[in-house]
Structure 1
């Protein structure tokens, strides 16, 4: 259709632009690359959006013109451009670089998940400026010279999913800069940058991916492919020494019986009943509803895996770090020895980890094959279960599993926040090796006598009390004394459980029945 026949000028402009872009796309003779640069959905970004949107520097069509990063770094990009051109003796930027990038733009568009409305000329300028800046930055890292603090501060932005520049752009610009030489340009340009900034160990240079879509792609596959080179014969690993019995498992049941005086318990129930009778009916009803709500959680809540400090103190596990050439696919449990890869946590690590997880999620959702498995997502889920307090961090630091300059509190915050929503549930047809290992750990942990006693003494009675309260509430109507008496029993039950937790430890000692008037 002729755009001039459309009455609305905005629609006419859209038809003309779309027609032109489509014609350019149909002229492409090269192989169309797969989608590899995504916009991260709100389901992932909602808890911490600043971890996915560049704060210092924006690259590519998604973020080059973002106001904050643009105003901060556009001047620096333009300042580096003439220096790079001069170093490579490029007299004419438009002819030598820009025109070549513009010819590539129709192919580049296929790398992006969303439709890019900017025209080819604008896109060529964006990719040429951003590509030259990144090439210069990677060369700076690659030379082994000290990297100035300003560039170090950009690392987390450079690693974001939405901020990636296709490798083909960098390759095209590099060829333009080295037209008279046979410069062998490969993804190894990313190596030094990734070695400095990756939270997890990378595979060897020989095992590193030789064909990549962009920087994040290179780091991701360098992490998950970290495995030993073809093994030489090695002596069999020594059998694990018998784990010392958990002190908690050896605690007798008698002290619990001695510490609970039945007469005092009955007296406490009566006192609490008299106290609650003085509370207005409306507040008793609210407390009743709260009790009904709390008990199911008390009796059914389960964690993915117990924390590191609990596994050590209560089940006799011990943690050890894997060799440098063994990554997340080599996490192993041998007896009660738990082998984990090292992780280095610095100021940029959380953002990089979040974007690695997001990238893995998005490539899996975009792929129809079963070739991808949520390896980093599962690993982070494991670490979020193991690290819930400072004691867990100290333990893993002592075993050289956690390194870096972040404090214990900061590390706990990272894993607690990441467990709260940045990792989507990616269901697979069968259990992964890591999930099977976690099941092994949980089976050992839950088979302890103390865990069985906790279930019999507290979780099962809690379920009975919940059922009883629910049925009573359905017919007592305004008989608040009965409700008050039942709530008193539950309160004593919860206080007893809390006392048990203080002495013996338990899985749900953070669950508390809140009584706003209890201190009055």
Structure 2
């Protein structure tokens, strides 16, 4: 064996010790303060998007026109809007008759609670700069919302003008672009700051007739909080007439393998409401509007397998669009899968990605939007699956070809972590339906022999003729041996 030089070992230990001394370890007193703070403050509700999610599509999480809060305050591309914040601050103080220092004092009282709402501490931002930033951002949002409400409200429009010269409201692209930035997960202020500042300001204003802050927010975010009205296409021809529907009904009732199960006994959870609980921020508000009533699975397991829409349709599953697009509520009963409508347009990916990122950070054990997209991802593998869902009214495709929608849905689920799904029981019901031979037999009979009036009538006539022929044959044979 080779002999180890003890002198070399000592020198190596000494060098490593020097490297440890270089480490930036806090002083004992500072370390004591650090350890006395919780790892996560209970107020925490505003996060940076995890790197693995941001890497898929960075633009989906980055504001394009305006920075709100501390995360994007150094983005030079957003600096031009800082002048508009100052202009709105002056206009708001003039509106309510309060000096801006009174507003700043209110925010100063909430500073520590506001800082605790963010995932990062921002120790490099002084107290005065932090308060100034929150003041400008919060007043900007409130003034913008008031101006938009006045712009589209005839009575208040008479009082405050038409805003044609407004830098933001004068151009619809800027107006709706700013609104889109206000729901991004990294571009948030705590909801309580906006709500309390609004109540403080309006309460000290001489002018009456202002709506509540929640009504004001709901008006401005109407496109994000209320599902789009979708007109039924009256030009679509029905694939079944009355007689074939009767045939389908008779066969389904006789041979269908789908059980009512526990889902038919479950009642819709209608206790959730946007008005009962204040949201944490605007991202949370949009999420609540789409998911506060949802199906509950007794088995909180991850969905690992679900057949595509085309395959399920081939096994006799009927797809039906819910009358309401939101909240998310998917049901499978008596061979019918009822789903909310999914609007696929230029803004869909941005909105859904931010809602999913927020769930991954704040609601890891209740990722309702993620669960819904996960199910949609299983149902859609190719453009043929999209076509099935479009024809049934479940997907409203404003992106053009079906392949674009398929790629959109398939990419939304990338890097999403799921420990369980509220739709596990639903997926099991669909899989059992597909894998049952009777269901596929019934589906083939319906599609081949009962898909229209004439073929269905011919099938019934053939069956009746076969029956009488068989009866006559039996009768004839019985006569021979009698």
The TM-score bracket by the shorter chain reads 0.5 to 0.7
Q: Say how many residue pairs are matched.
A: 342
Contact 2:44 2:116 in 1 (8 A): yes
Shift of 1:200: 5.4
User: Alpha carbons of 1:75 and 1:388: their partners in 2 closer, same or farther (altered >3 Å)?
Assistant: farther
2:367 to 350, 370, 374: 374
The residue that corresponds to 1:187 in the other structure is: 214
> Distance between the aligned counterparts of 2:377 and 2:227, measured in 1?
15
**1:364-418 superposed Cα distances (whole Å, 9 cap, x missing partner):** 34xxxxxx52211110101112223333333323322223633234322311211
1:420 aligns with 2:429: no
Shift of 1:142: 4.2
How is 1:3-152 mapped onto 2 (pairs within 5 angstroms)? 34-70=43-79, 72-90=80-98, 92-93=99-100, 95-117=101-123, 118-143=125-150, 145=152, 148-152=172-176
Contact 2:224 2:286 in 1 (8 A): no
The residue that corresponds to 1:391 in the other structure is: 384
User: Alpha carbons of 1:399 and 1:169: their partners in 2 closer, same or farther (altered >3 Å)?
Assistant: same
1:304 counterpart SS class: coil
Contact 1:320 1:338 in 2 (8 A): yes
**1:431-477 superposed Cα distances (whole Å, 9 cap, x missing partner):** 63x111112212222345999xxxxxxxxxxxxxxxxxxxxxxxxxx
> Distance between the aligned counterparts of 1:69 and 1:156, measured in 2?
14
> Distance between the aligned counterparts of 1:199 and 1:319, measured in 2?
23
2:90 counterpart SS class: helix
How is 1:225-240 mapped onto 2 (pairs within 5 angstroms)? 225-226=292-293
The residue that corresponds to 1:272 in the other structure is: none
> Distance between the aligned counterparts of 2:436 and 2:105, measured in 1?
68
The residue that corresponds to 1:500 in the other structure is: none
The residue that corresponds to 1:252 in the other structure is: none
TM-score (norm 1): 0.58
> Distance between the aligned counterparts of 1:226 and 1:208, measured in 2?
13
The residue that corresponds to 1:167 in the other structure is: 191
User: Alpha carbons of 1:391 and 1:378: their partners in 2 closer, same or farther (altered >3 Å)?
Assistant: same
> Distance between the aligned counterparts of 1:325 and 1:449, measured in 2?
32
The residue that corresponds to 2:306 in the other structure is: 305
> Distance between the aligned counterparts of 1:209 and 1:144, measured in 2?
29
> Distance between the aligned counterparts of 2:379 and 2:310, measured in 1?
8
Which stretch of structure 1 is more off in the superposition, 314-323 or 396-405? 396-405
> Distance between the aligned counterparts of 2:366 and 2:316, measured in 1?
31
**1:270-310 superposed Cα distances (whole Å, 9 cap, x missing partner):** xxxxxxxxxxxxxxxxxxxxxxxxxxxxxxxx973222233
**1:30-76 superposed Cα distances (whole Å, 9 cap, x missing partner):** xx852101112113222112222223221101112222223x42233
> Distance between the aligned counterparts of 1:419 and 1:39, measured in 2?
19
> Distance between the aligned counterparts of 1:224 and 1:106, measured in 2?
31
> Distance between the aligned counterparts of 1:137 and 1:317, measured in 2?
48
**1:145-201 superposed Cα distances (whole Å, 9 cap, x missing partner):** 296221212333211111111112212431442242597744343212333125858
Contact 2:47 2:119 in 1 (8 A): yes
User: Alpha carbons of 1:410 and 1:158: their partners in 2 closer, same or farther (altered >3 Å)?
Assistant: farther
Unaligned runs of 5+ in 1: 1-10, 26-31, 229-301, 366-371, 452-520
Contact 1:201 1:327 in 2 (8 A): no
> Distance between the aligned counterparts of 1:404 and 1:177, measured in 2?
43
Contact 1:168 1:213 in 2 (8 A): yes
Shift of 1:89: 2.9
2:337 counterpart SS class: strand
1:218 aligns with 2:245: no
Contact 1:209 1:222 in 2 (8 A): no
Contact 1:323 1:341 in 2 (8 A): yes
> Distance between the aligned counterparts of 1:417 and 1:325, measured in 2?
22
Contact 1:187 1:210 in 2 (8 A): no
The residue that corresponds to 2:224 in the other structure is: 197
Contact 2:383 2:403 in 1 (8 A): yes
2:363 counterpart SS class: helix
> Distance between the aligned counterparts of 1:356 and 1:81, measured in 2?
30
User: Alpha carbons of 1:190 and 1:227: their partners in 2 closer, same or farther (altered >3 Å)?
Assistant: farther
Unaligned runs of 5+ in 2: 1-23, 154-168, 230-269, 296-302, 441-482
1:338 counterpart SS class: strand
Contact 1:52 1:160 in 2 (8 A): yes
User: Alpha carbons of 1:361 and 1:173: their partners in 2 closer, same or farther (altered >3 Å)?
Assistant: same
> Distance between the aligned counterparts of 1:59 and 1:340, measured in 2?
35
> Distance between the aligned counterparts of 2:150 and 2:345, measured in 1?
23
